[in-house]
Amino acid sequence: MEHNLHTRFGASAGSESMLAVRHRVLRNTYWLLALSMIPTVLGAWLGVQFKFAFFAGSPMIGFMLFMAIAFGFIFAIEKTKDSGLGVAVLLGFTFFMGLMLSRMIGAILGFSNGSTLIMMAFGGTASIFATMATVATVSKRDFSGLGKWLFAGVMVIMVASLANIFFQLPAMQLAISVIAIAIFSAYILHDVQQVINGGETNYITATLSIYLDLYNIFSNLLALLGIFGGNRD
C-alpha cells in the first residue's frame, strides 16, 4: 500500500514537473516571438529607406541566394539553440527576413492606402495566430499528423513559386498566396500544439517555427491585399 502511494505521488509530481516545463517553453516562445518582431520591423524599415533590392534584375539568382542564406541561418540556429547565442542568431535571421520583406512593403507603400493595407495584413495575421493558437491550446484533437502533409504542401508552394519566376502568371501567384496562407495557418496549430504536448522542448526552435508561419501568412496576405485593395489615387 505504501509503495503504491509513493508510486502515485511520484507519477503526480513528475506530471506536474512536465507540465511546468511545457508552460515555461510556451511562455519563453511567446516572449521571444514578440522580441523577434523588433529586428524584423527594423530590417523592413531600413530596406524601405535605402530601397534595398535583392538581385532585382535576376529573380532566379535572388531566389536561390535567398534560400541559401535562409537555410544557412536556420542551420546555425539549430546548432546554437541550447545557448544564448541561439537567440542572437535567431534575431539576426529575423532582421534578414525583415530586410527581404522591404521590397514588397515599399511597393505597397506606393499605394495611397498602403499604410492601411499593411495594418490590415498585420491585424489579419494577428487574428489568425490568436485563433489557431487558441484552438491548439483548447482542442483535444492531436494535430501532429498534419506535419508531413503540411511539409509536402510547402514543397509544392516552393516549386510553384520557382516556376512562376519564369511564367509570371498572376492567377498562379494568387493561388500560391491563398494556399500558403491556409498551409501556414494550419502549421500554427501543429507548431503550438507541439510545445503544449511536449513534442518540442526548445523555445528557440519553437519560436523559429512559429515565426516562419507568421512571416509567410503576413507576406502572402499583404500580397493579396495589394492586388485587390491597392489604390493608386
- Tens digits of per-residue pLDDT, 161-194? 989 888 888 899 999 999 999 999 999 999 999 9
Task: Give the C-alpha separation, 43 to 139, whole Å.
Answer: 36
Task: Give the C-alpha separation, 48 to 52, whole Å.
Answer: 6
pLDDT value of position 15: 54
pLDDT value of position 229: 83
pLDDT at 9 over 50: no
Task: Give the C-alpha separation, 99 to 105, whole Å.
Answer: 10
pLDDT band at residue 144 using 50, 70 and 90 as cut-offs: confident
3-state secondary structure the chain: CHHHHHHHHHHHHHHHHHHHHHHHHHHHHHHHHHHHHHHHHHHHHHHHHCCCCCCCCCHHHHHHHHHHHHHHHHHHHHHCCCCHHHHHHHHHHHHHHHHHHHHHHHHHHCCCCHHHHHHHHHHHHHHHHHHHHHHHHHCCCCCCCHHHHHHHHHHHHHHHHHHHHHHCCHHHHHHHHHHHHHHHHHHHHHHHHHHHCCCCCCHHHHHHHHHHHHHHHHHHHHHHHHHHHCCCC
Give the mean pLDDT of 53-67: 82
Domain ranges of the chain: 2-229
Residue with cell 542551420: 75
The fraction of the chain above a pLDDT of 90, given in percent, is 70
Burial of 91 (0-12, 13-18, 19+ CB in 10 A): middle
Residue with cell 505504501: 2
What pLDDT, in 10s, does the model give residues 68-78? 999 999 999 99
* Side chain identity at residue 62, one-letter code: G
pLDDT value of position 233: 64
pLDDT band at residue 10 using 50, 70 and 90 as cut-offs: very low
Contacts of 64 (CB under 8 A, 6+ apart): none
What pLDDT, in 10s, does the model give residues 83-127? 999 999 999 999 999 999 999 999 999 999 999 999 999 999 999
Closest-CA residue to 203 (of 81, 107, 99, 114): 81
Mean pLDDT of the chain: 89
What pLDDT, in 10s, does the model give residues 11-56? 444 555 778 888 899 999 999 999 999 999 999 999 999 988 877 6
Checking phi first, is residue 202 left (phi over 0); if not, alpha (psi -120 to 50) or beta? Answer: beta
Contacts of 48 (CB under 8 A, 6+ apart): 102, 105, 106, 109
